[in-house]
């Protein structure tokens, strides 16, 4: 990227650890190939990472909170397409973290992630005081998607009542079958807790 282009976006020419930036983009909020609007060298200025979740849990959870959801809003195909594009551009695979690993072995998973993206591991960041204002995180219905976050004190396995995918409505099972191969691609290349 040219200095003029970097300056117009207030981007430094070289990122230092003090300038790490963690933007978040949910897959369903970026229409297919939105990233094509940016020059490919723009994408090379970032260390990319993906957080994935078992599509059976994702889709049944979406259905429970949002029964009329559209398959296009799930985001797994877009996530895989971006992952594949970044792999092709960089010649290396971006870091992938599975939410199941994160909840089952938080410290080990976060430590492996930090090593993969070259940032310091800070164990104290794995716990916090309960009572977060979930309104600042949630765009849907005042925060029910984030009720567990509000009462949490750290990362740990959660007991939830999920509908088994085999017992879900046919439409939900169909969406799951369409999305699973996309998630499987990233899951196979995830960063594993050591």
Dihedral sign for Cα 75, 187, 17, 120, please. Answer: positive
DSSP bridge pairs for 49 = 95
Model confidence pLDDT, tens digit, residues 106-133: 999 999 999 999 999 999 999 988 887 7
Domain boundaries, the chain: 36-129+156-188
- Would you state the pLDDT for residue 35? 56
Whole-number pLDDT of residue 105: 92
Least Cα distance to 172 among 53, 54, 28, 59 occurs for 59
Inform me whether the pLDDT recorded for 37 exceeds 70: no
Mean pLDDT to the nearest integer, 141-161: 72
d(CA 128, CA 35): 34
Please name every residue paired with 127 in a beta bridge, in sequence order, or none if there are none. Answer: 154
Does this model's pTM top 0.85? no
Would you state the pLDDT for residue 182?
A: 96
The 10 Å CB-count burial string (b at 16+, else e) for 6-33 is eeeeebeeeeeeeeeeeeeeebbeeeee
The SS3 call for residue 71 is helix
158, pLDDT greater than 60: yes
95 in Cβ contact with 110 (< 8 Å):
no
pLDDT tens digits, 165-187: 999 999 999 999 999 999 999 99
Q: pLDDT value at position 131?
A: 80
* Higher-confidence position of 2 and 152: 152
Residue 65 phi/psi, 5-degree rounding, is: -95, -20
């Amino acid at each position: 990227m040219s200095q003029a282009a970097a300056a117009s976006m207030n981007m430094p020419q070289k990122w230092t650890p003090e300038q790490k930036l963690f933007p978040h983009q949910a897959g369903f909020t970026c229409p297919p190939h939105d990233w094509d609007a940016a020059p490919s060298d723009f994408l090379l200025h970032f260390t990319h990472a993906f957080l994935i979740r078992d599509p059976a849990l994702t889709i049944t959870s979406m259905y429970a909170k949002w029964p009329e959801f559209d398959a296009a809003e799930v985001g797994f195909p877009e996530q895989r397409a971006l992952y594949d594009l970044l792999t092709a551009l960089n010649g290396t695979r971006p870091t992938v973290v599975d939410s199941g690993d994160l909840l089952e072995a938080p410290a080990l998973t976060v430590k492996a992630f930090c090593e993969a993206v070259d940032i310091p591991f800070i164990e104290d960041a794995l716990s916090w005081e309960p009572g977060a204002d979930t309104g600042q995180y949630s765009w849907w219905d005042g925060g029910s998607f984030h009720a567990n976050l509000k009462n949490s004190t750290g990362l740990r396995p959660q007991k939830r009542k999920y509908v088994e995918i085999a017992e879900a409505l046919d439409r939900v099972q169909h969406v799951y079958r369409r999305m699973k191969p996309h998630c499987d691609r990233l899951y196979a290349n995830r960063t594993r807790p050591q």
